[in-house]
Structure 1
Amino acid sequence: TKIELAMEMLDRANERGHLLFQWVSGDCAYGDAHEFRKHVAGMGKWYCFEVYYDTHIWTDDPAWKVPPVMENRRGRKPKHTKPTEGSPPAVTASSLVSSIPDNQWQRICLREGDKGPREFEFARLRVFEKWNGRPGPASWLMIRRSLQTEDREIKFYLSNAPETVSISEMAWAGCQRWSIEVDFKLAKGEVGLDHYELTKYRGWYHHITLSMLALAFLKAVQRQWGEKMCAGYCS
């Protein structure tokens, strides 16, 4: 599966040590995979994955506990936590948008785009994730909304980054997918990433590798010559 391949690629990159990284980001297909988020956290890395609007989380400690053993009860002792009388219900990510005060939204410029600065408003709050129907770790729910008030686009992200990480850095990490999509489009147009007719995996791998090396050179030159960056956050 895509998730299994992604975990293998991350493990390989981490073990070889040639590619130093701290953040891992991806779209909802990866963010919705609890086992993938758990795998990234187990590597000691920070993730910032986009998730669906109906993703369930807790805003307060779920307070699940292992049920006490009843007297004269036979069989195995319970070992899994369950909700208690005081356990709050899980809520959807989208239900929290209206509860965020206007003064908690921060306008952040991610970078310059072809049509000007890519600016959005961001807010975040501490939540408890829900993994396979059960309480997961405490993390960040970050919400991104477009500047226009009509037909406003809203995106949601989950991140295990420390509380010391700024919202600007988290926004940059979570929105890197846009830059990757732009680079793929550039690679197809400038270095022939998709210009191949091959039947063997090795030949395809060679073509993709050389195309990516050519793209890396172009991006390095672009940066050296002064690619336009936004003052909101610079990597």
Structure 2
Amino acid sequence: MGLLWAVGTVRIQKVYPANVQLVASTTTRGRPRKTLIPDVESISAETMLAKTSWRRITWRRGTKGALQARFAAMRVRVADGPAVQLRRHAAQHLPGEEVWLVGEHRSSGERKYYLSNLPPDTALKRLASLIKARWVCEQAHQQLKEELGLDHFEGRSWRGLHRHALTLIAYLFLQHLRLQAAQREKKTSQWATTATNTAGGSAHAA
């Protein structure tokens, strides 16, 4: 569909270097193989990213300060192509499309890995920011379920889809009210601060 995506993956996901080449098999046993094979073996995502440098990235500021972790990224081809027998190992997969492989090392020691089809010239900070943007989606779904009962609606029928859409509309309305209230509180706070500073200045002058 031509959509851009970023998804989580496991550390043992097999990948090839982006410059992997498909070559003719050099085996001397049996009939010559018609299927081309990669000129290098696939390795795990964890091993692949161990070869590159990691940078500390801040993707946004939260209520408790800057949200940051160490990230690394490199272009790879995921081993998700047709299954073949390679070097006497069955069910090995040929290289698929070229994508980004992104790794995250959190301060807690936890490590996460992602794949994304964002363009090759995408900066590391943008990769990290877009990957982390799914937290907003997760929060939205959690609030939809807890506050508006989305988890009670079955989405496999027209009626379920209709209710799902109505729930989303209700959620947008509530978010609109929340943002309006937050904006009013901000203006009130600013007005109170200005009034206090003005009064203090006048008293000091007197």
Same fold per superposition (TM over 0.5): yes
What is the aligned partner in structure 1 of residue 162 from structure 2?
206
Question: 5 Å matches for 1:212-227?
Answer: 212-222=168-178, 225=182
Structure 2 alignment gaps of length 5 or more: 82-92, 184-206
Structure 2 match to 1:171: 128
Write the mapping of 1:31-180 to structure 2, written as runs, cut at 5 A.
43-59=1-17, 61-67=19-25, 79-83=34-38, 87-101=39-53, 104-110=54-60, 112=62, 116-132=65-81, 133-148=93-108, 152-180=109-137
Task: State yes or no: 1:194 paired with 2:151.
Answer: yes
CA distance in 1, matches of 2:176, 2:103: 32
Distance 1:89 1:223, change over 3 A: farther
Scaled by the length of structure 1, what TM-score is found? 0.59
TM-score in terms of structure 2 length: 0.66
Q: CA offset at residue 92 of structure 1? A: 0.3
Q: Secondary structure at the match of 1:89?
A: coil
1:107 is paired with a residue of what secondary structure?
strand
SS of the aligned residue for 2:95 comes to: strand
Question: Residues 194 and 58 of structure 1: is their aligned pair in 2 closer, same or farther, counting only changes over 3 Å?
Answer: closer
Q: Call closer, same or farther: CA 1:48–1:202 in 2, change over 3 Å.
A: closer
8 Å contact kept, 2:56–2:68: no
Structure 1 unaligned spans of 5+: 1-42, 227-235
Aligned residues: 168
Q: In 2 relative to 1, CA 159–182 (structure 1 residues): closer, same or farther, beyond 3 Å?
A: same
- Conservation of the 8 A alpha-carbon contact between 2:72 and 2:104: yes
Deviation digits for residues 116-160 of structure 1 (CA, Å, limit 9, x no counterpart): 543222111122221230012322111112124xxx111111122
Q: CA deviation at 1:220?
A: 4.2
What's the RMSD between the two structures over aligned residues? 3.1
Larger radius of gyration: 2
Contact residue 108 and residue 122 of structure 1 kept, 8 A? no
How far the C-alpha of 1:55 sits from its partner, in A, is 0.4
Bigger strand fraction? 2
Structure 1 residue 167: Cα displacement: 1.9
